[in-house]
Structure 1
Amino acid sequence: MLPADREDDVKKGKVYLVGAGPGDPGLFTLRGLEVLRRAEVVIYDFLANEELLSFAPPHADRIYVGKKGGDHTLSQDGINRLLVEKGRHHVVVRLKGGDPFVFGRGGEEAQELVAAGIDFEVVPGVTAAVAVPAYAGIPLSHRDFTASMAFITGHERADSRESKIDWSKLATAVGTLVFFMGVKNLPDITARLMEHGRSPETPVAVIRWGTTPEQRTVTGTLGDVVDRVREAGLKPPALIVVGEVVRLRDQLNWFERRPLFGRTVLVTRARQQASDFKRLLEEKGARCVEFPTIRIAPPESWEPLDRALSELQTYDWVIFTSVNGVRFFMERLFEAGKDVRALAGVKLAAIGPKTAEALEARGLRLDVVPGEYRAEGILQAMGADSVQGARILLPRAKVARDVLPETLRKWGALVDVVPAYETVLPTEGADRVAEMLREGRVDVVTFTSSSTVTNFLHVFEAHDPLKLLEKTTVACIGPITADTARGRGVPVHVVAEEYTIPGLVQALCDYLAC
């Protein structure tokens, strides 16, 4: 039993004021990630990317207090009270867009915590003032243009009688001006700058949702940018950059020139396998919508696989056709009290490079990896002579193509096909995705296996799935998947020449670049 004073210390909380960065989750800091993983309560804003919430512990309370276009989920006073209430006895992460101390009202929240006697720490974030122009191809400083910059709010306090901005000095004294939250006041901002001496020909960029796949940039001059923004229908949240450095955008605009920028891609792959695919798509500029039409689950019974594992030394070959097969096979092997030494003397084959990597990561060497990543490829690589009379173990999905085992048997092999896992059909979120497809808000639907095709059609059966796909590009990982799609009436526009995830991404880039 702890003394009373020690017990109070144990229960004492702490608040971390954490900058979430400008939008791209890849710009989140290591320190931010560290404290987020320890959070008991996460209080987050509208501009904090919700993907970051996945790093918080599952049991952590997640409380949204965002402010959007004047619509406040909770007033600032309410947020302050919430921070004090939760911060007394919990580890609280206050996740704020950009940097908490750069127009983020983090200073005000810190003052409230000090007044309440609550311990706090500030974790700086990458401010939008720097990151957003960089993603738009605009360096804030450049020796040929300017050596000074200033960050200014474009939306001062409503209860303030006098402006804290000295426009007469600001207009011409600083080379690059960056305005936060200024879209609604853009006419007033440009007018004041020109009124106090800034040339109407000064370049201006207005950047909405900077650093994200939704980034959109409108450029002009002080004299015409208001009309250009109005014509483009650009809305908050957006950042305004004023200065000669904006001229460099034509040369340095790297982010918006990526091959898939602005494209929305539906990823139907199982969630356990989607991360690499999603990362590659996002690196090419795509906005990914995940809707896994497959969920990987253990088989109904482990008995067939367990029996095969107990007889491993009687097999001449083990052929793996997927990363999932490797994972479940190895996990079950270890649960049986064995390790990779149980495979000594057994030849190993993998149907593709990712499956091979999964085996090599466990210290296993492959005897066969085909040049063509499908059943026909592995058959060609092995050849009939090498399997005549051989005993072969094939741990794979419960439902899969029969080309491989049937051909091996015709060649005289003894083949045991055992389910190492099975695919389950998820349906959550189907209505939302159907609406996006119906409205043409999805540019590409990707299929990475025949089962993703058949499951997609089944999940959206009530929505007329072929009708849903009329407004989108359909991309398949290889000819088998494409044949399945065409056989079900699905039009196929892209088929990867190399039947891998990188191959599919490259094929998609090539197709959309035409």
Structure 2
Amino acid sequence: MTDGQALALQGRTVVMTRAMEQQSEGRRLLEALGADVLDLPALEIGPPDHWGALDDALAEWDTFHWLIVSSANGANAVEERLQRQGKALAHRPASLKIAAVGRKTAKRLEELGSEADFVPPEFVADSLIEHFPVSGWGLRILLPRVQSGGRTVLGEAFGEAGARVVEVPAYESRCPQAIPAATLDALRAGSVDAICFTSGKTVLHTTHLLAESLGEEEATARLKRTALVSIGPQTSDRCRKLLGRVDQEAHPHDLEGLVMACVQAIQKGDSV
């Protein structure tokens, strides 16, 4: 952070949409820039409907060439289910390599004692496919993922490249029941300068929650003067589809990039 950015969000109100368990990191980064941060937990992370597919795949994890982990939630779920089998990521088979999508996912794997063998330069699935270090032909790949609503691009791309991909539900991200009262009051009052979206599902769930709480017309009106900031291309597409626009996209596609994109979006709005 440069001196010029030290209080770039002083006096600004920013809403952060993340899973309830993941609010603290985004809040810390925004508050360091002077922002008043309001939480809108747009995801509730929980188990999939059934563990059978993941458990079965992990029981034969020594038959896979690669484990591709696309989120910290996926890493946590894999470790939890491995431990039920008396195993751990820290003691994976020597033949099993791990690819991680994103800095946070890679960090979580390190914390679990199993450093990723490959992390793509861009923290999105498309970059992993483009820069994957070996040909997919003949590989057996295990891909634990969110149960519903996630992209299937990884499985499809590696399948087209000749890999045998086993996709299994490892967790589910559900919509919370309500928006926190303080956040809803600020949105209703029109005092929110920006909303930061961390995934396509946070856009979907936020849109649903706003419509339920304010009604669709009022929700649309309240967002007209609010900057909409996205963490990456797919989240931006969902913003355009459901909210009609996106004002700034993070680069790199991680929390630090999202916070800087928030600064840029607000500054851009000030200059209009």
TM-score by shorter chain over 0.5: yes
Given the alignment of the two structures, is residue 377 of structure 1 paired with residue 127 of structure 2, yes or no? yes
Higher Cα radius of gyration: 1
Cα 1:260–1:382 shift into 2, 3 Å = same
Given the alignment of the two structures, is residue 355 of structure 1 paired with residue 105 of structure 2, yes or no? yes
Shift of residue 431, structure 1, vs aligned partner: 6.2
The one-letter code matched in structure 2 to 1:330 is: E
1:69-113 alpha-carbon deviations (Å, 9 max, x no partner): xxxxxxxxxxxxxxxxxxxxxxxxxxxxxxxxxxxxxxxxxxxxx
Cα 1:486–1:429 shift into 2, 3 Å = closer
Alignment-derived partner of residue 20 in structure 2? 271
The separation in 2 between residues aligned to 1:477 and 1:318, in whole angstroms, is 24
Shift of residue 291, structure 1, vs aligned partner: 1.3
Given the alignment of the two structures, is residue 337 of structure 1 paired with residue 86 of structure 2, yes or no? yes
The one-letter code matched in structure 1 to 2:221 is: K
Alignment-derived partner of residue 157 in structure 2? 407
Residue 229 (structure 2) aligned to one of 455, 464, 475: 475
* SS in structure 2 of the partner of residue 394 of structure 1: strand
The one-letter code matched in structure 2 to 1:299 is: P
Residue 319 (structure 1) aligned to one of 68, 77, 81: 68
Percent pairwise identity: 38
The answer as to whether partners of 1:326 and 1:359 remain within 8 angstroms in 2 is yes
The one-letter code matched in structure 1 to 2:139 is: A
Name the one with the larger helix percent: 2
Residue 45 (structure 2) aligned to one of 296, 306, 312: 296
Shift of residue 352, structure 1, vs aligned partner: 0.9
The answer as to whether partners of 1:482 and 1:495 remain within 8 angstroms in 2 is yes
The one-letter code matched in structure 2 to 1:442 is: V
* SS in structure 2 of the partner of residue 470 of structure 1: coil
Residue 179 (structure 2) aligned to one of 416, 420, 429: 429
The separation in 2 between residues aligned to 1:471 and 1:438, in whole angstroms, is 12
Alignment-derived partner of residue 77 in structure 2? 328
The separation in 2 between residues aligned to 1:476 and 1:330, in whole angstroms, is 29
The separation in 1 between residues aligned to 2:46 and 2:115, in whole angstroms, is 27
The answer as to whether partners of 1:265 and 1:446 remain within 8 angstroms in 2 is yes
Alignment-derived partner of residue 389 in structure 1? 138
The separation in 2 between residues aligned to 1:283 and 1:264, in whole angstroms, is 13
Question: Mind listing any 5+ residue stretches in structure 1 that lack a counterpart?
Answer: 1-253
The separation in 2 between residues aligned to 1:266 and 1:454, in whole angstroms, is 15
1:192-230 alpha-carbon deviations (Å, 9 max, x no partner): xxxxxxxxxxxxxxxxxxxxxxxxxxxxxxxxxxxxxxx
Residue 247 (structure 2) aligned to one of 493, 500, 514: 493
What pairs up with 1:161-172 in 2 under 5 angstroms? none
Between 1 and 2, higher relative CO (CA 8 Å, sep ≥ 6) is seen in 2
Shift of residue 345, structure 1, vs aligned partner: 1.6
Cα 1:429–1:487 shift into 2, 3 Å = closer
The separation in 1 between residues aligned to 2:91 and 2:84, in whole angstroms, is 14
The separation in 2 between residues aligned to 1:477 and 1:323, in whole angstroms, is 16
* SS in structure 2 of the partner of residue 291 of structure 1: strand
What pairs up with 1:49-68 in 2 under 5 angstroms? none
* SS in structure 1 of the partner of residue 18 of structure 2: coil
The separation in 2 between residues aligned to 1:468 and 1:512, in whole angstroms, is 16
The one-letter code matched in structure 2 to 1:366 is: A
Alignment-derived partner of residue 82 in structure 1? none
* SS in structure 2 of the partner of residue 395 of structure 1: strand
Shift of residue 324, structure 1, vs aligned partner: 0.6
Alignment-derived partner of residue 192 in structure 2? 442
The one-letter code matched in structure 2 to 1:402 is: T
The answer as to whether partners of 2:39 and 2:183 remain within 8 angstroms in 1 is no
The one-letter code matched in structure 2 to 1:326 is: A
Q: State the Cα RMSD in Å.
A: 1.9
The separation in 2 between residues aligned to 1:435 and 1:342, in whole angstroms, is 49
Alignment-derived partner of residue 419 in structure 1? 169
Q: Report the more deviating stretch, 473-482 or 461-470.
A: 461-470
The separation in 2 between residues aligned to 1:448 and 1:344, in whole angstroms, is 34
* SS in structure 2 of the partner of residue 289 of structure 1: strand
TM value normalised by structure 2: 0.89
Shift of residue 321, structure 1, vs aligned partner: 0.3
What pairs up with 1:164-203 in 2 under 5 angstroms? none
Question: Mind listing any 5+ residue stretches in structure 2 that lack a counterpart?
Answer: none
Shift of residue 436, structure 1, vs aligned partner: 2.2
Given the alignment of the two structures, is residue 503 of structure 1 paired with residue 257 of structure 2, yes or no? yes
The separation in 2 between residues aligned to 1:364 and 1:482, in whole angstroms, is 32
Count the aligned residue pairs: 259
TM value normalised by structure 1: 0.48
* SS in structure 1 of the partner of residue 107 of structure 2: helix
Cα 1:395–1:343 shift into 2, 3 Å = farther
The one-letter code matched in structure 1 to 2:259 is: V
* SS in structure 2 of the partner of residue 423 of structure 1: strand
